[in-house]
Structure 1
Amino acid sequence: MEKVERNLIEPIGEVTFERSHMNLSKGLKKFQLKLENILVRKGFLLLLIGFLLGRALILAKLTPFCLPFFAAVYFIRRDKAPIALIGLVAGAATLSIVQASYTFFTIALFLIVYKLLRNFIKNEMKVLPFFVFFILLIGSAAESFILTSQVSLYDGMMAGVEASLGFILTLIFIQSIPLLTFSKRKQALKTEEIVCLIIMLASVMTGTIGWEIYDLSVEHILSRYLVLIFSFVAGATLGSTVGVVTGLIFSLANISSFYHMSLLAFAGVLGGLLKEGKKIGVSLGLFIATLLIGMYGEGIGSISITILETIVAIALFLLTPQLFTARVAKFIPGTTEHMAEQQQYMRKMRDVTAQRVEKFSTVFEALSNSFSNIDGKVEELDSERELDYFLSNVTEKTCQTCFKKEQCWTKNFNTTYDQMRDIMLEMDENNGVVSGKLMRDWDKHCTRSKRVIDAMQQELTFFQANQKLKRQVQESRRLVAEQLLGVSEVMGDFAKEIQRERENHHKQEEQILESLQEFGVHIEHVEIYSLDQGNVDIDMTIPYCQGHGECEKLIAPMLSDILGETIVVNSEECATYPNGFCHVTFRSAKAYSVDTGVAHAAKDGGLVSGDSYSMIELGSGKYAIAISDGMGNGERAHYESQETLQLLQKILQSGIEEKVAIKSVNSVLSLRTTDEMFSTLDLAMIDMQNASVKFLKIGSTPSFIKRGGKVNKIQASNLPMGIIQEFDVDVVSEQLKAGDLLIMMSDGVFEGPKHVENFDLWMKRKISELETNKPQEIADLIMEEVIRSRAGSIEDDMTVIVAKIQHNTPKWATIPVVQKQRKRA
């Protein structure tokens, strides 16, 4: 019983903890939303920033922050400008009533001048800093004149400095205020935006100069806290930048704080270097920097206060929720959070794109089904209806005026109908000829038999034309259905490829980089896209190699040893100047290569042959060899065969399966012309990874495979393309080996030898007697042998293609990398 109670209590406790954790997360999120609503949407953040900038001083005298801040807020968030004005005047009032009056006067002067000249301004963004510059210059000079009744050279110089600072600060605030007031931002921060944000935050912190809590300086605590945040989020580079910029602005505000810039910069560097230790490591970096730089202070008391300020900043940093730092990190390029955010965005875009492609694929599949699903019953009913129309037209011309109409169609309807239908069907099948028996039976039944037969023959011409048109329409529908189905399959495969997320190969990239650098090859950058077997894809950036071929001679062989498969250079972009970089792409080498040779001749030695051939390497790792023989000779046959191969090549390169491609080409050829122009097709698809081959022969002659002294014949029985509209493509599959010779030829070569009864045996014997294994020599010898057998005459177009399968051996041998694990993702 106790065990049962314990088993029940433990899950209940876990559920209770999870619920409390979820409630806490929801509570924090609600609090964050309320805080954002108060600070950002209602404008209290601008009120707070304005208050601190209103009392911020430069060189203990100048206040260049007020007018630039108000001008930027007025330009970006005009509805919140009154709140910013209240904050600025209130902050200036903490310094003196005169300073508050001066701030209000300069802002009022800015508004008046801006209202007067607004109609003449085309680009407010460019003109706004100049407005601020001249108004600050006039206001500062007027203040000096009112207080001292004169404007000295020193006063003019200070007025120029303040106006120049206002000009620069206006540009900075225009960049940085949107980062604070727009809560929903998706883009990463640019470098200039980060710097502007840091300057603005440091400027706001100068408003806390003079504030102390138990002898601890507030501006020191906040500045160190800011360095801790950015060092933890972005590392040493940004951390040191924040330290230098913040310390520089503090030193301008108070010259006694000059050493503080060194402390903040050093703390940013150490904290960023120790960020792998999380918050403790970053805090330790600030503490070490405080101890080292604090020695420049004034005595033991100064060091103790500095250490206490650092401890308070560290405490605030440790109490900062992870939610805040993670949110800041999302907008800074190079951080893990930013990369995760980008990957999430790309994953979402990828999924949306894949879904849309899949929807398109479904639409094309549905369209294909709508074209291909033709009900047999509907076709049968249509045929019966057409037969009824045919007989109705015949009887209208012959039986309407016959005196035996009632006898034939009322009393003997079935007999009359059946006999006329049989006559019509026989005439349709036998080109208008009717058998003697059926003709005698019809003569006995009908008194106007000859007239009816003539009417049937006349009507049959229109009936056959309609039937042919109907068949062409049905064939067109079938062609469209097959094409739509092929497109649907290609788009479905494309959607699956889109959904394959690019894996992160940081570990493998470091291993490859380290291995190559230890060998003495300098690599600037490595990026791995795929490490799948047979589909390796790696990009590298290397220094200028001066044309020595390091990529092909060193890097590719070393990668081959690291990855355990042959890697070759796929593409290379060399630098155009000595100090530049070369960009190289490495891919998996194909296991086999194909070396080809072709012999070609036209009938009677003419220039135009009816044969066409093509050898193309498809992007899917396959090599296609095709021969097409147009019916007859000359330009028309050449056009037919060439058109067949071009259509086939384009369809195959689109990724559509071979059978569908051949059927599509056949349908196009059969629909395109009414002339009896047909083409044969001999297609071999060789897989470059395993050397398997598929033969698709459409009305073509046999092919031969020579392996050593043995010759095998490959043949299939299919009619030429364009003769019939529907046919099944017979596929013959074979497994080739390295050293095999594949010989394909047109009928002009296969049937060319004279006084030969068995062409198969003759061709096998000639191929087996060949002593060379070079494809081009074999093609020339076979062509020469056939022409010699006919005493030098060429009575038909002749084409021979010979392909030799061999292992793909790289030009440079593999270089072993010592003491490195060969890992594959």
Structure 2
Amino acid sequence: MSGQPGIHPYRREIELTATTRLGLDFLFLVAAFFLARGVLLEELFPFGPASVITAAVRRPRLLWPVVLISMAGSWFSSTAPVYSRLFLFLFLGLIFSLYPALRRGSILTQATLAPATIILVRGLSLTLWQPSFYGWIQVIFEALLAWGLSLAFLYASITTRQEERLLGGGLFLVGVLLGLQEWRFFDLSLQGVISRYIILLVSLAGGPGAGAAAGAAVGFLPSLSQLVTPALAGLLAFAGLIAGSLKSLGKPGVISGFLLAHLLLANYFLGQESVLAALKEGVLVALALVATPSFLINNLQRFLAAPVSTPALKEDHGRQEALRKALKSLARSLKFTGFKESPEVTVRQVARATCRGCPAGKVCWELEGVQMVTLLQELLQKGSHGCLTTADIPEWLASRCSRCRELLAALISEASKMQVLPAENSLNTWLAATFETLAAMLVEGKAKAGVGEEEGRESPRWKLTVGTAATPRYKADVSGDACLVANLEPGRQLLVLGDGMGAGREAAETSSTAIELVRDLLAAGFTPEKTLRTVNMILLLRTPKESFTTCDLTLINCGNGTAEFYKLGACPTFIQRDGLVKTLSSHSLPVGILEDLQLEPMREELQEGDLLVMVSDGVLEAHRDINEKERWLAKALQRVGDARPQEIADRLLKQARALVDGKPRDDMTVMVARIERTGV
């Protein structure tokens, strides 16, 4: 591939070598030593048992090294050595050695070993040597904390959910930092130095919010192990906020903001004698941040970034429901062509005029919202061609609605405002009736011929973080562009961007209708080719006047990392990888112009860190020089670095607006997606 013109060599995935694995094992052993020393409220040691259980389940070959290291850490803890803790670690090691099947059990069973062994070993020791009610309360609290920590560590090591990974990793780091209590380096607290380094690192990767959160978290650490005033939390939270606010200036800005805020408040919070120590710690962590490699910061930035996604459709049973909704959507698109506003806006106006304050409103609009929207759209369409009567309201609604007369009056009023169109095309009517019949058959028949099929599906190895930015053309209140991000089963991600003909509400209605149909048909199991041909035919039949839209469709397989691109009258897609930018373009016409649709699918192999950028023509045409339409955007992408997709989208839109002096001649939309790996 690298030998073809215009295609650049891609970075290969770096595999872990034996030396790297050995280094990670060594770091885990060091962490286990400090976790065994980690103490809460000067008396509780729940981190050690949780780390032993995690090692036994996730790294069995490190079980006994971790047991011995934990025993050493407990022996050299800040309090007097308690022999029951040493026997506790030894007992856990023996349990997992004698019963290796425990490693294949459920996480709940594995985590429950922590409180069970703590109550057994420490409770027995307490009963034999120093029986007391307070001692039993202490043992029970330590057992419960160890159980929660074990669950958090075990889940964090296998989950792909960002919240669980952040919780487990944060608690693990808290235990290590607590274990560093009273360890000093040239009269400097190791806990303080590492805590401040974490604040700088998180501020640089995550911005002001993440920096303030990290500062508050590590600032409370001393008060967790000792009865001290938690004033340090306020100082470090403010320092993290200021440091993160200067993230755009890079490492120098983050370091300057942190040192400035830290020194200004250190005298007030900690006293004059602590200012010099704070300055020394600040200089040391600043040097450490300067020496931090960029790949570590980039990985942390991607880890902290929240992926943008929409809820995935249910499988099997959900597939039939998705197909039914797609058919109903097709039927409505053919039948409902007289709305001045969008059908949803018109229905909301009817509900606002009639249902506000109604006791049955919760049932109608929360429990049966979809059914109500469909019914009112059908009644509005019928009212535009004739007179509505109470007989048109179905029995299931009339039996409970106390405002039937008001509802009917609102429907008649809105129907009178609908556009008067020529008689419906017979083909439209036939297609709409056919689609509705098929949808009804799915509900009534419930054929289960293919329910037992189980396809071997590989778990998704890739995910997308997506950012979007849009603005309407100058002096317009509605953008004619529409974009959509959706998860499709099994393991497919959809990005689609449409630009309707003209501008304003009519263009927006055309583009949004097209991309929603694309989503519904793909979710129902249609191939991309059939989906686009169906949408093209719908737009041709939908109204007698000309109505078309561009369609820029990207379909990503999250299992193998391949992407399919379909472009119908759309702008090129830009792929940025390692500072190099590649463009994918097609000369196909938009959907809704010709019955014979020419499709030119393109496929690409994606890699971790790839950046996909999709734009509407208003963005490219912002540059007056026709030869620079694509070049200026490619140059801008070469300078984005590892910024978040949302930041990149906002930046590109801002540059496009600047090229037209803040007065866009056409609607502008930018979609930016970064490819990332899932898993731990």
Q: Identify the TM-score tier after normalising by the shorter chain.
A: 0.3 to 0.5
TM-score, L = length of structure 1:
0.39
Report the TM-score, using the length of structure 2 for normalisation: 0.46
- Greater RCO (CA < 8 Å, at least 6 residues apart): 2
The structure with the largest helix share of the pair is: 1
